[in-house]
Amino acid sequence: MIDNEIENRSKVIVRTSIVGIATNVVLSAFKAAIGFITGSIAVTLDAVNNLSDALSSVITIVGAKLANKLPDKKHPLGYGRIEYLSAMIVAAIVLYAGGTSAVESVKKIIHPEAADYSTISLVIIAAAVVVKLVLGKYVKSQGERVNSGALVASGADALFDAILSASVLASAIVFVTTGVSLEAYVGVLISLFIIKSGIEMLKDTLDDILGKRTDGDTAKEIKKILTSEKPVRGAYDLILNDYGPNKSIGSVHLELPDTMTVEELDVLTRKLQNRVYKETGVILTGVGVYSYNTKNDEASKIRSDVLKIVKSHEWALQMHGFYVDVAEKTLRFDVVLSFAVAPEEGVAILTKEVSEAFPEYSVHIAPDVDLG
């Protein structure tokens, strides 16, 4: 089922990108012709922008094809992250187009040249606005449907292009009706929007490559699945590693009773791993275990007292994995710390306070990062 979804996703990306390429090439050709005939720098830059969009779609197709390659010995987790690299290339192209457009527009402001618009050129520019609006909505919706950042970015860019083309049309109408030429300034405006779009695309892609906070909805869904089984009291430390769109590999800790056998644990974890994969597409490669006390009433009271100590600090967000060995006089738990405190400092403070409250116990605290 998942393999079919990946294959269909690739087909949607390629098909949508081809539609974008064809549309942008046609629009670029018409706008370039109008820009040449009328001498309009704004229309010419709009044509260049459409051409860069077409090139971006070509790179998106190449990236999707390469990312869909099967895993091999050298890359056992597949090539999904290639899509992020292709998105970076697209962002670089957009930034280059924006920078070049800005330079040419400033030149036209310094050395202005009057444009000569005809009725047919105005009609074509107006038609281009409508086409870009339709294309933008189509590409963006397809990108959201298959979780393709490159398509979503292309769709958003096309919608911006429609606004920019509308500004070109408005400046042309102003020139025709009043004789006031604003097109060079509109060219600068277009350039700034292109550069802004490129920077945002680059930032989003870098976030994916560097690793960003796990999506809250996905984390909640996985934890809901894990805690739906009766022996599981809690699911913690969920970490998802992104190996490309729709391909996440993760690990988690489950809080389970100290009476479970290894056999029971094996059956439970395999069942949960299968459920998580079928329902979310996430592969849980590691399932760790926290045990909780079920045989000793004293442990429950100690846990309640320790939780009060932990919760007295704003930077201590959560306590889990709590276990007391009354015979050995050891006490251990994990605490999730906010980024407002250094892990070493937070652990030192809590260890001191808990040790003072329970001097007969050896206290062992493991810090956890606030992952989401």
- Distance between CA atoms of 52 and 31, rounded to whole angstroms? 13
For the whole model, what pTM was predicted? 0.60
Give the type of residue at 57: S
Please tell me the predicted confidence (pLDDT) of residue 226.
Answer: 93
Please tell me the predicted confidence (pLDDT) of residue 1.
Answer: 42
Please tell me the predicted confidence (pLDDT) of residue 355.
Answer: 95
Residues 6 or more apart in contact with residue 122 via CB below 8 angstroms: 169, 172, 173, 176
Q: Contact, 215 vs 67, CB < 8 A?
A: no
Q: Which residues does the chain have with pLDDT short of 50?
A: 1-2
| Bridge pairing between strands 283-292 and 248-257 | parallel
The Cα-based distances of 245 to 9, 17, 54, 223, 267 in angstroms read: 10, 17, 22, 21, 30
Please tell me the predicted confidence (pLDDT) of residue 114.
Answer: 66
**Would you call 190 exposed, middle or buried from its count of C-beta atoms within 10 A (0-12, 13-18, 19+)?**
buried
How many CB atoms are located within 10 Å of the residue 220 CB? 13
pLDDT tens digits along 270-287:
999 999 998 888 889 889
Looking at the DSSP assignment, which residues form a beta bridge with residue 236? 253
Radius of gyration of the chain (CA): 29
The Cα-based distances of 251 to 219, 223, 237, 283 in angstroms read: 11, 12, 8, 8
Per the listing, tokens 């050129």 go with 121
Tell me if residue 318 falls in helix, strand or coil.
strand
- Distance between CA atoms of 323 and 346, rounded to whole angstroms? 20
Please tell me the predicted confidence (pLDDT) of residue 63.
Answer: 79
Question: Which pair of tokens denotes residue 263?
Answer: 């056999």
Give all strands (DSSP E) within 175-247, no chain letters: 234-242
